[in-house]
Amino acid sequence: MNRKIITLPFIFLILFYVGFHSHVFLLEKTGIRLPFNLKKMYLFHAVFSSVLCLNFVLFSKVDKVFQQISFIYLASIILKILLFCTIFYKPIFEGENITNLQAVSLLIPLLLFLPTEAFFVIKILNTNSTKTIKQKNGE
């Protein structure tokens, strides 16, 4: 558990750094200008995913919470979308019209962090459900 508390934020930090700088490099190569702050979007996804996974590591140790953890994850995805829309409402919805390439740039951070987040949540669930089964069997 202690190792996970250190490695999960580190992995999301690396994903933030590599994803953001690769994205900026490609945007500069193609000459696309974005009407929103891409760094803040990557930072939002990195911090939210990191905090979510850390909470799942901690909450997975509580039996009552562990039984409902998959529903909590679904609610957290909805919360993430709502927070994202609330925080970035002005630059995305009230700003100038967004082209298709700019819209794709808006979705890339989500498509980068969401599967990574889901992978770690599934790993946490599988690890703890295996431990629970072994405890019930007396191993």
Q: What is the mean pLDDT of residues 40-69?
A: 88
Is residue 89 over pLDDT 80? yes
Q: What is the mean pLDDT of residues 112-132?
A: 83
CB atoms inside a 10 Å sphere around CB 83: 12
Tokens of 94: 């009230």
DSSP string, 66-130: HTTHHHHHHHHHHHHHHHHHHHTHIIIIISSPPPHHHHHHHHHHHHHHHHHHHHHHHHHHHHHHH
Model confidence pLDDT, tens digit, residues 8-32: 999 999 999 999 999 999 999 999 8
